[in-house]
Amino acid sequence: MQRLLVTGGAGFIGANFVRHVVEQTEAAVVVLDKLTYASSPEALEGLPPGRVELVTGDVTDESLVDTLVSRLTGPEDAVVHFAAESHNDNSLHDPSPFIQTNIVGTFVLLEAVRRHEVRLHHISTDEVYGDLELDAPERFTEATPYRPSSPYSSSKASADHLVRAWVRSFGVRATISNCSNNYGPWQHVEKFIPRQITNLLAGGRVKLYGSGENVRDWIHAEDHSSAVLAILDRGRIGETYLIGADGERSNLDVVRTLLTLLGHQADDFDHVTDRPGHDLRYAIDSGKLRDELGWRPAHRDLHEGLAATIDWYREHRLWWEPKKATVETAYAAKGQ
Ligand code: NAD
Ligand code: TDX
């Protein structure tokens, strides 16, 4: 039986991935997660016994990581590395945990997979490529030069460079994927879409940074998961694959859609203080992934996806409500 070690598997995308693996494969999963404020161990509840084990621990803990990686002895076994500090705004307030987890954590994992000759798939982001002009004809490809802007994106870029160096210098069997902005169930209320949905469900107001002209390229977390499975299964070692679902929208457009879906006037929102260094536009060309591996997204209609996500947050109030006050107090202190 295939065994996967999924770091950060109690986070938003990691937990969606673990659920997807349980539904779509026979693999057994060990999750290594520090259970930071961003985690949702609840998302792993109810999965079939024997398929998923949660180990609480830090990806920078060399001895623990070595032990877990040493158990991956089968030819199909692999590590899928999601664990990260993931929120840009937090990285502007205190970059330190981003350097520790995202860079040092990836280094510790690389050394363990090198020692035990285990396959690694490293999860990264389109933010390593910096941003594009609104009217630029091009989108990011695997050949776009790295130009990260924030402490978060530069820590992810550093981790990507380490992975490539370990492939070339030590022959580590690794692949990398850089995905665009995810949405869907279990996303923390600090992030853009769940923040606005839960603000409205809690009787508050929508908060748009700056003018709202910034563009993000949205993909459902389930499509990110199916792409990662395709790369694990058929991806070429040493290669990078960009993951995206042609979901470019301005933040203003997303906010108007959410307001309308929740029965409010489309312009009933607050403009708040912009994010320092705010990237203008991300856009992914996922042609390589589609042509080489035959991957296609299942969620192609963002409007439908957002409506379903609103329903999910309506039904999971007990999960998100206790997280809301701390997040909103921190945003309010920054005028956001
Ligand atoms: P998240 O913040 O929701 O989850 C991160 C998880 O990692 C949490 O469960 C947390 O407890 C765990 N973690 C943090 N530090 C750890 C440590 N030192 N040791 C072990 N576990 C630790 O993040 P997410 O949005 O699910 O992102 C997951 C991955 O996907 C990240 O690598 C991120 O860079 C990447 N990514 C995210 C997006 C997005 O839109 N959210 C897009 C592209 C790529
Ligand atoms: O309240 C808000 N209002 C607002 O206008 C928040 C929280 C955000 N925004 C804007 C900032 C961005 O332009 O919305 C956009 C999306 O913001 P985030 O959800 O913070 O995502 P982003 O900074 O784009 O990064 C996300 O996608 C790439 C993830 O958090 C990263 O982990 C991933 O790598």
Burial label for 11, CB within 10 Å (0-12, 13-18, 19+), is buried
Q: What is the structure's pLDDT at 131?
A: 98
Q: Looking at residue 124, what is its pLDDT?
A: 99
Altogether, the residues listed in the chain come to a count of 336
Calculate how far, in angstroms, residue 33's C-alpha sits from the geometric centre of ligand 1. 10
Mean per-residue pLDDT, 15-30: 98
Mean pLDDT of 118-124: 99
Q: For residues 315 and 334, what is the distance between their CA atoms, to the nearest angstrom?
A: 30
Between CA 309 and CA 315 the distance in angstroms is 10
Give, for ligand 2, the residue of 98, 191, 257 to mutate: max count of ligand atoms closer than 8 Å to Cβ. 191
Residue 183 Cβ < 6 Å to ligand 1: no
Active site residue 152: yes
Cα 287 to Cα 244: distance, rounded to the nearest angstrom: 9
pLDDT at 49: 81
**pLDDT score, position 329:** 97
For residue 205, count other CB atoms closer than 10 A to its CB. 14
Q: What is the mean pLDDT of the chain?
A: 98
* Cβ(6)–Cβ(80) below 8 Å: yes
- The mean pLDDT of 150-172, rounded to a whole number, is 98
Cβ of 195 below 6 Å from ligand 2 = yes
Helix (H, G, I), strand (E, B) or coil at 13: helix
CA of 295 to the centre of ligand 1 (A): 23
Confidence label for 77 from pLDDT (cuts 50, 70 and 90): very high
DSSP letters spanning 267-327: T-EEEEPPPTT---B--B--HHHHHHH----S---HHHHHHHHHHHHHHTHHHHHHHHHHH
Classify the C-alpha dihedral 282-288-289-295 as positive or negative: positive
Neighbour tally for 27: CB within 10 Å: 21
Residue 196's pLDDT band, with cuts at 50, 70 and 90, is very high
**pLDDT range class, residue 232, cuts 50, 70, 90:** very high
pLDDT at 208: 98
Ligand 2 atom with the smallest distance to the CA of 125 is 34
Which two three-digit tokens encode residue 332? 């309010």
Pocket flag, ligand 2, residue 181 (CB < 6 Å): yes
The finding on whether 153 has its CB within 6 A of some atom of ligand 2 is no
Select which of 33, 127, 190, 328 is catalytic: 127
Inter-residue contact 280 to 134 (CB < 8 Å): yes
Q: What is the pTM of this model?
A: 0.99
Say whether pLDDT at 106 is over 90.
Answer: yes
Q: Is the CB of 178 under 6 A from ligand 2?
A: no
Cβ–ligand 2 distance for 199 under 6 Å, the answer no
Q: What is the pLDDT of residue 70?
A: 98
Residue 267 CA to ligand 1 centre (angstroms): 32
Q: Which residues pair with 156 in a beta bridge?
A: none
Q: How far is the CA of 249 from the centre of ligand 1 (A)?
A: 23
Long-range interactions of 96-101: CB distance < 8 A, separation 24+: 98/151, 98/152, 98/155, 99/151, 99/155, 100/60, 101/34, 101/58, 101/59, 101/60
| Residue in this structure with the two tokens 């989108």, named with its chain if needed | 139
Position 300 scores a pLDDT of: 97
Q: For a pLDDT cut of 90, what percent of the chain falls above it?
A: 99
Cβ neighbours, 10 Å, residue 15: 28
Q: Which domains does the chain have, with CATH numbers?
A: 3-182+220-243 (3.40.50.720), 189-216+247-279+300-327 (3.90.25.10)
* Residue 89 CA, closest ligand 2 atom number: 20
Tens-place pLDDT, residues 271-329: 999 999 999 999 999 999 999 999 999 999 999 999 999 999 999 999 999 999 999 99
Q: Which atom of ligand 1 is nearest to the CA of 182?
A: 40
Residue 154 C-alpha to ligand 1 middle, in angstroms?
Answer: 15
